[in-house]
C-alpha cells in the first residue's frame, strides 16, 4: 500500500524529525537557538582576535638613570653631627625598565609606525618593539604629545608586517561589543571582551581629549593597546583605569581613535602635534553668574579673559561673552570648547555663536598655532582677572561694607599685568574709569568700552587705585 504525502506534509514531517532530534539531545528549540547565537558571537570574537593580535605590539622601554651608591664606611662611621657629603661617593647607571602596548597604524616604505601612550615611552633611552609572532625590532620615538598622552614610535624592516584598520569612534554606541588587546602585567597578546560603558568621559586634569569607557578588563601594561569593535577596527587607544586596588574593576578608558588620527600625520610630518589656539580664559557658569547675566537656560561656556593678539581678540570675542557654538558644534562646557578647538587645524576659519548683552551674535575667527610661550602665559591678557557679584552671603562672610562695591575679583591670571600690578583675589571693585560699578553687566560694559581702565578697589577697608592697559 502506497501512502502519499504532500509538500506541506513533508515540511511537517521534517519539522517533527528535527523536534524529535532536539528533544533526544535534551535541548528545547529556544535553547538550541541561544547556543547557535552564542557560537556565532564566539566565532566573531575568534575572527576579531586573529585579525587584531598581529597589529598590537609589546613596547619595552629602558630609562637609564643615575643613582647614588652608598659608601658603607661613610654610612656606618660618619660622626652624628657631621654634614652630609654633597657629592655622591660613586654614581652608577641604573636601567629602569618599562612595559606597555602599541598599535601598528601606518606604513611608509620600510618604516612602520606604532601609536602608543606618551607615558609609555616618555624619556625612554631604549625602545624595543615585540610583535605577536615573536619578531623584535628596535624602535625610535618620533614624537610625543603629553596633552593627549599620545606618542608615535617607528621601526624599520623590509619584511611584511600587518597594519591595523582604524575605525570611526564617532559611530560607537553605548552597549557595543569591544575587545581590549594588549600586554597587561607582561602577559603578551592578551584579549579581553566587554562593552562600551559610556562615551565622552572626562578625566581630571585632562581636557584635550574625552574618553571611551569600557568594562573590558584593562590592567597595567595595557596602556597604548587597542580597543577594537566587532569588525576588528581600532576605535580607541587604551590609556588608563580607575581603580581603588590598582587592578581592573571594570573601569577602563581609551582615547577615541578619531582624536588621534591627525596626531599620527603630525608626528610623521612634523615630529610634534600642532594644536589650534583661540586665546580665551573661560569657565562653566555658576548659578550666581547665570542669574546675574540672565543665562539660566543657556548652555555653553563663559569668557572671563581674552589674550592679547590672539585669534579671539582679533576676531572680536570680548570678556563677558557666552559661547554657545563653535565651528558648527554645540558647546556644552569649557572642556568641550577646549576639545573642539584642539580638534581643528591652525589657520582654519570658524564661525562662532555667542550671547552678548542678552543678544545672540555671530562672528568669524581664524585660528592660530598654539605655542609653548602662549601656554606659559607670556602674552598679555585682558582684563587679567575674573569677576563675581558680591552676594549677601559673601558680603556677610567677608564683612564687605555696602558702600565698598558690588563686584569682587574672583581670581587673577598668573603672570598677567593685573597680577604684576598687585591685584588680588577678594579685592572689591568700587569704580572703573570713575564710574561706580553697580552690577556684573555694567562691569563688562565698562571693561569692553575702552583699552584703559582706572580701577578703584577696596581692600581691607582701604581704597587703592590701579591703571590697566589692554
169 is catalytic: no
3-state secondary structure 108-166: ECCEEEEEECHHHHCCCCEEEEECCCCCEEEEEEEEEECCCCEEEEEEECCCCCCCCCE
Among residues 352, 359, 310, 362, which one has the least CA distance to residue 331? 352
Are 181 and 249 within 8 A, CB to CB?
A: no
Instruction: Return d(Cα 102, Cα 100) in angstroms, integer.
Output: 7
C-alpha cell at 327: 565651528
223 is catalytic: yes
Q: How are beta strands 252-256 and 206-214 bridged, if at all? A: antiparallel
> Catalytic pick from 101, 145, 149, 248?
149
Kind and range of the H or E run holding 276: strand 276-277
For the stretch 264-269, contacts whose Cβ atoms lie closer than 8 Å and that sit 24 or more positions apart, written own/partner, are 264/105, 264/106, 264/113, 264/115, 264/152, 266/143, 267/113, 267/142, 267/143, 267/145, 267/151, 267/152, 268/106, 268/108, 268/113, 268/142, 268/152
294 is catalytic: no
Instruction: Return d(Cα 63, Cα 143) in angstroms, integer.
Output: 17
462: which strand partners? 459
Biggest CA–CA distance in the chain, Å, is 121
Question: Between the CA of residue 134 and those of 37, 96, 189, 399, 436, what are the distances in Å?
Answer: 34, 23, 11, 72, 75
C-alpha cell at 206: 585632562
Question: Between the CA of residue 451 and those of 249, 278, 318, what are the distances in Å?
Answer: 55, 20, 12
Kindly report the backbone phi and psi dihedral angles of residue 204, in degrees, each rounded to the nearest multiple of 5, phi listed first.
Answer: -60, 130
Residue 430: count other Cβ atoms within 10 Å of its Cβ: 19
Instruction: Return d(Cα 280, Cα 304) in angstroms, integer.
Output: 8
> Catalytic pick from 119, 169, 210, 336?
119
> Catalytic pick from 223, 263, 310, 416?
223
What region does 5 belong to: left with phi over 0, alpha with psi -120 to 50, or beta? beta
The 8-class DSSP code of residue 355 comes to E
Q: Which residues have C-beta within 8 Å of that of residue 203, sequence separation ≥ 6?
A: 211, 240, 253
DSSP-assigned states of every residue in 308-335? TTSHHHHHT--TT-EEEEETTEE--SHH
106: which strand partners? 113
Instruction: Return d(Cα 436, Cα 207) in angstroms, integer.
Output: 38
Catalytic residues: 119, 149, 223
Amino acid at each position: 500500500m502506497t501512502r502519499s504525502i504532500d509538500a506541506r506534509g513533508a515540511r511537517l514531517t521534517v519539522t517533527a524529525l528535527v523536534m524529535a532530534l532536539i528533544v533526544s539531545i535534551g535541548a528545547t528549540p529556544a535553547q538550541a537557538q541561544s547556543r547557535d547565537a552564542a557560537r556565532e558571537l564566539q566565532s566573531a570574537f575568534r575572527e576579531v582576535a586573529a585579525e587584531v593580535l598581529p597589529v598590537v605590539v609589546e613596547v619595552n622601554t629602558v630609562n637609564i638613570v643615575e643613582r647614588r651608591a652608598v659608601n658603607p664606611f661613610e654610612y656606618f662611621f660618619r660622626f652624628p653631627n657631621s654634614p652630609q657629603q654633597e657629592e655622591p661617593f660613586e654614581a652608577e647607571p641604573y636601567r629602569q625598565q618599562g612595559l606597555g602596548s602599541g598599535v601598528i597604524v601606518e606604513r611608509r616604505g620600510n618604516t612602520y609606525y606604532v601609536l602608543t601612550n606618551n607615558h609609555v615611552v616618555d624619556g625612554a633611552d631604549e625602545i624595543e618593539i615585540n610583535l605577536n609572532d615573536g619578531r623584535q625590532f628596535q624602535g625610535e620615538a618620533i614624537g610625543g604629545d603629553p596633552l593627549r598622552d599620545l606618542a608615535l614610535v617607528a621601526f624599520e624592516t623590509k619584511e611584511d608586517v600587518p597594519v591595523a584598520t582604524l575605525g570611526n569612534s564617532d559611530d560607537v554606541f553605548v552597549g557595543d561589543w569591544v575587545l581590549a588587546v594588549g600586554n597587561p602585567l607582561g602577559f603578551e597578546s592578551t584579549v579581553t571582551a566587554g562593552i562600551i560603558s559610556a562615551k565622552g568621559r572626562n578625566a581630571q586634569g585632562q581636557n584635550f581629549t574625552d574618553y571611551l569607557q569600557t568594562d573590558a578588563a584593562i590592567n597595567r601594561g595595557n596602556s597604548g593597546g587597542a580597543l577594537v569593535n566587532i569588525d576588528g577596527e581600532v576605535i580607541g587607544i587604551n590609556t588608563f583605569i580607575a581603580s581603588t586596588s590598582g587592578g581592573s574593576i571594570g573601569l577602563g578608558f581609551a582615547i577615541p581613535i578619531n582624536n588621534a588620527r591627525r596626531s599620527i600625520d603630525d608626528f610623521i610630518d612634523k615630529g610634534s602635534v600642532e594644536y589650534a589656539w583661540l586665546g580665551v580664559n573661560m569657565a562653566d557658569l555658576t548659578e550666581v553668574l547665570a542669574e546675574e547675566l540672565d543665562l539660566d537656560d543657556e548652555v555653553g561656556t563663559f569668557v572671563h579673559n581674552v589674550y592679547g593678539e590672539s585669534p579671539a581678540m582679533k576676531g572680536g570675542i570680548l570678556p563677558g561673552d557666552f559661547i554657545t557654538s563653535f565651528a558648527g558644534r554645540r558647546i556644552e562646557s569649557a572642556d568641550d570648547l577646549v576639545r573642539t578647538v584642539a580638534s581643528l587645524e591652525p589657520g582654519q576659519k570658524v564661525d562662532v555663536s555667542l550671547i552678548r548683552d542678552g543678544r545672540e551674535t555671530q562672528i568669524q575667527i581664524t585660528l592660530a598655532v598654539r605655542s609653548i610661550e602662549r601656554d606659559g602665559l607670556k602674552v598679555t591678557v585682558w582684563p587679567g582677572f575674573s569677576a563675581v557679584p558680591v552676594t549677601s552671603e559673601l558680603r556677610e562672610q567677608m564683612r564687605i561694607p555696602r558702600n565698598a562695591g558690588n563686584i569682587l575679583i574672583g581670581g587673577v591670571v598668573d603672570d598677567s599685568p593685573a597680577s604684576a600690578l598687585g591685584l588680588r583675589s577678594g579685592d572689591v571693585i568700587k569704580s572703573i574709569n570713575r564710574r561706580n560699578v553697580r552690577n556684573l553687566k555694567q562691569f563688562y560694559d565698562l571693561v569692553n568700552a575702552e583699552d584703559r581702565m582706572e580701577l578703584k578697589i577696596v581692600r581691607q577697608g582701604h581704597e587703592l587705585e590701579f591703571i590697566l592697559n589692554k
